[in-house]
Amino acid sequence: MKSAIVLAVLLMGLREFNALAEETPQKESKKVSVVQHFVPGSKPMKGESDSGGASVTELRPGPAKDSKSLFMQAWAGVGDSFPVHEKSTQLFDVTVKEGDDSHLVLEIKTKDATQKIEVKRDKRVEATVNGRTFSFLFPTLWVAADMGEKPMSPQAMIILNCDPEK
């Protein structure tokens, strides 16, 4: 008899819980593709780590299967510096001197020279460094975000390419 009462109370509680759940509006999370903005000094967007400095890949053959072009990417904020390496040899350093969501000013430093270039959003800029031509790109990034969210990052993505035959 006691088990029947306990079971009845549990069932009534479960029924009340289900009724309450049906009345509670569920928050829809519809992801949309939006542009991620580069905002120096902002907090990292949801899901992005706060690395506290630049992060880079090594200069290596590009993603295309038969690519002869060398490729690397970096994530850096204003004031961050990063080395450009090829096969573990450092070629030069790049510092993000200033910038916003529309452009970056990069300082390229070798043992013998320093030069500054301005890279506008989605426009390739070439620079000759140690006798080789490198192209720099500050691309627009599209990310998944909740409807109405305006994602921003304190770091910009910078892509470098170099044709080893140039």
* C-alpha closest to that of 125 among 155, 86, 89, 161: 161
Q: How many CA atoms lie within 13 A of 88 on its CB side?
A: 0
Q: Which domain holds residue 79?
A: 31-162
Q: How many domains, in total, are found in the chain? A: 1
Do 138 and 103 touch, CB atoms closer than 8 A?
A: yes
Q: Which of 6-10, 37-41, 48-52, 55-59 has the lowest mean pLDDT?
A: 6-10
Which SS3 state, helix, strand or coil, does residue 12 take?
A: helix
* Within a domain: 7: no
* Within a domain: 6: no
* Within a domain: 68: yes
Q: For 125-166, what is each residue's pLDDT tens digit?
A: 999 999 999 999 999 999 998 888 889 999 999 999 998 765
In this structure, what token pair is assigned to residue 68? 């002869």
* Within a domain: 98: yes
